[in-house]
């Protein structure tokens, strides 16, 4: 028959094992909850971006710049009045929003595939970069701001690469 001391050692060891198992279970559960929370926050962020993109004013400005604005170079851009405050605000609002998207994608707060799956977003982002690329290159040089539009350029290039990987070419 086991003595009291042996029984108490077995009970203590069993308690330690049970506590370790309970801690592991709690840890796994907490990790799952953290992953769910991150996904929920990412979905919320994406919906906020979607809401902004869907605003009537944003869509109108985007379409105006893409469909109606035309310029040959920096001087022509200036001559046509696109540096006037109201016009420049439209331009910067659109470019700034896309650059913000780029930063968020680069920080991995949203997946680039989310943008690719919203086909028109990819189309407009790549199209916008294509339209403004020469302007940005010239402006970077004239204003000595080599990073101006860099995030926009990065995102357009990343979207293009991603879509080519998926077999989508606009």
pLDDT tens per residue across span 126-148: 999 999 999 999 999 999 999 99
pLDDT tens per residue across span 50-99: 898 889 999 999 999 999 999 999 999 999 999 999 999 999 999 999 99
pLDDT of residue 2: 63
3-state SS string over 16-63? HHHHHHHHHHHHHHHHHHHHHHHHHHHHHHHHHHHHHHHCHHHHHHHH
- Give the DSSP per-residue string, 69-127: ---SSHHHHHHTTTTSHHHHHHHHHHHHHHHHHHHHHHTTSS-HHHHHHSHHHHHHHHH
pLDDT tier at 10, thresholds 50, 70, 90: confident
**pTM (2 d.p.):** 0.76
Better-scored residue on pLDDT, 11 or 97: 97
């Amino acid at each position: 028959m086991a003595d009291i001391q042996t029984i108490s050692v077995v009970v203590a060891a069993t308690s330690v094992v049970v506590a370790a198992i309970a801690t592991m279970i709690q840890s796994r559960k907490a990790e799952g909850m953290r992953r769910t929370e991150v996904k929920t926050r990412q979905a919320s962020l994406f919906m906020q971006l979607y809401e902004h993109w869907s605003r009537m004013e944003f869509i109108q400005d985007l379409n105006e710049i893409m469909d109606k604005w035309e310029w040959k170079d920096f001087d022509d851009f200036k001559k046509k009045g696109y540096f006037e405050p109201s016009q420049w605000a439209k331009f910067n609002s659109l470019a700034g929003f896309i650059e913000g998207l780029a930063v968020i994608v680069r920080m991995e707060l949203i997946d680039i595939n989310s943008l690719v799956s919203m086909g028109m977003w990819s189309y407009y982002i790549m199209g916008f970069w294509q339209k403004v690329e020469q302007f940005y290159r010239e402006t970077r040089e004239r204003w000595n701001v080599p990073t101006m539009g860099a995030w926009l350029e990065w995102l357009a290039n990343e979207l293009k690469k991603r879509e080519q990987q998926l077999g989508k070419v606009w």
